Amino acid sequence: MRVAVLADIHGNLPALDAVLLDVGETGADVIVLNGDVADGPMPAQTLERLADLATRAVWVRGNSDRWLFEWCAARLNRAHRDLLAGLPLSVTLDVDGLGPVAFCHATARDDNEYILVDSPLDHFGAAFAAIGQQTVVVGHTHMPFDRLAAGRRVVNAGSVGLQYGHAGASWALLGPDVVLRRTLYDTDAATAALWSAAHDLPGADGFVGNVRACAGDAEAVAAFKQTVRQQQARKR
């Protein structure tokens, strides 16, 4: 089985449509939706498009699937909300060439835990201690990476809808190995469509601005490191 991993779509339907065209050309058998799919400018439209994938789609819960902005939640129907409420923290699939692979939005213990490419090895070890799979695929930080950490291969598929540090929509293709993919799309047309759909969404100007010209990697990593420090302080 070959698997495409789409994480952090965040209601960016134009980016999703572009990625799905690329995914279709790869012959992937399954599409893992690795969390944070709808919280953004086009929530209902995005969920409807993903629903069209039917049994090809395997859904995983992200943190923003639990706490949708009120603006987004108001645009979803009961079926949409029930779908998001019932998603699992993680799933495991047997992937060609890789064996059992675990998929979770952030870490195996928390869908809102930030782990970065340069996080300490003991953080990686603790974050995934609850699972036995030697390969795990995550999202959450919107920045792709593929590294060995604490004896485990950890892959971040990046973000389809709200990328940081690079142009284009990021996703991953698994089987027989791991390939980090990037799909370029018309961001001018996308920003026009997103703004038209959600100009009154709180923070819409920042979202649309990032689609047009994304935040740099150094800026994003600095912000994430601050969040990691805050999370760790709350656990003490």
We report the CATH number of the domain holding residue 118 as 3.60.21.10
For residue 31, give Cα distances in angstroms to 28, 171, 233.
7, 10, 36
Render pLDDT for 60-88 as a digit per residue (tens, 0 to 9): 999 999 988 899 999 999 999 999 999 99
Distances (CA, A) of 66 to 41, 60, 88, 194: 17, 11, 11, 22
Residue 147 phi, psi (nearest 5): -150, 160
Q: Which domain holds residue 42?
A: 3-235
CA dihedral 102, 220, 166, 115 (to 10 degrees): -10
Three-class secondary structure assignment of the chain: CCEEEECCCCCCHHHHHHHHHHHHHHCCCEEEEECCCCCCCCHHHHHHHHHCCHHHEEEECCHHHHCCCHHHHCCCCHHHHHHHHCCCCEEEEEECCCEEEEEECCCCCCCCCCCCCCCCHHHHHHHCCCCCCCEEEECCCCCCEEEEECCEEEEECCCCCCCCCCCCEEEEEECCCEEEEEECCCHHHHHHHHHHHHCCCCCHHHHHHHHHCCCCHHHHHHHHHHHHHHHHHHHC
Share of residues in the chain with pLDDT > 90 (%): 89
Distance CA 10, CA 227 (A): 20
Band (232; pLDDT cuts 50, 70, 90): confident
Express each pLDDT in 99-128 by its tens digit: 999 999 999 999 999 999 999 999 999 999
Average pLDDT over residues 31-38: 98
Does the model's pTM come out above 0.85? yes
- Which pLDDT value is given to residue 115? 92
For residue 97, the model assigns a pLDDT of: 97
Cα 157 to the chain's mean position, in Å? 7
Structure tokens at 13: 């339907």
Positive/negative CA dihedral, 139, 219, 188, 76: positive
Lowest-confidence segment of 47-51, 101-105, 208-212, 224-228 by average pLDDT: 224-228
Other beta carbons within 10 angstroms of residue 200's beta carbon come to 7
pLDDT in tens, 173-201: 999 999 999 999 999 999 999 999 999 99
Mean pLDDT for 163-171 is 94
Which amino acid, one-letter code, is at 109? Answer: R
Q: Are 45 and 193 in contact (CB under 8 A)?
A: no
Mean pLDDT confidence for 43-49: 97
Q: Among residues of the chain, what percentage have pLDDT more than 70? A: 100
Asked whether the predicted pLDDT for residue 210 surpasses 90, the reply is yes
Total of domains in the chain: 1
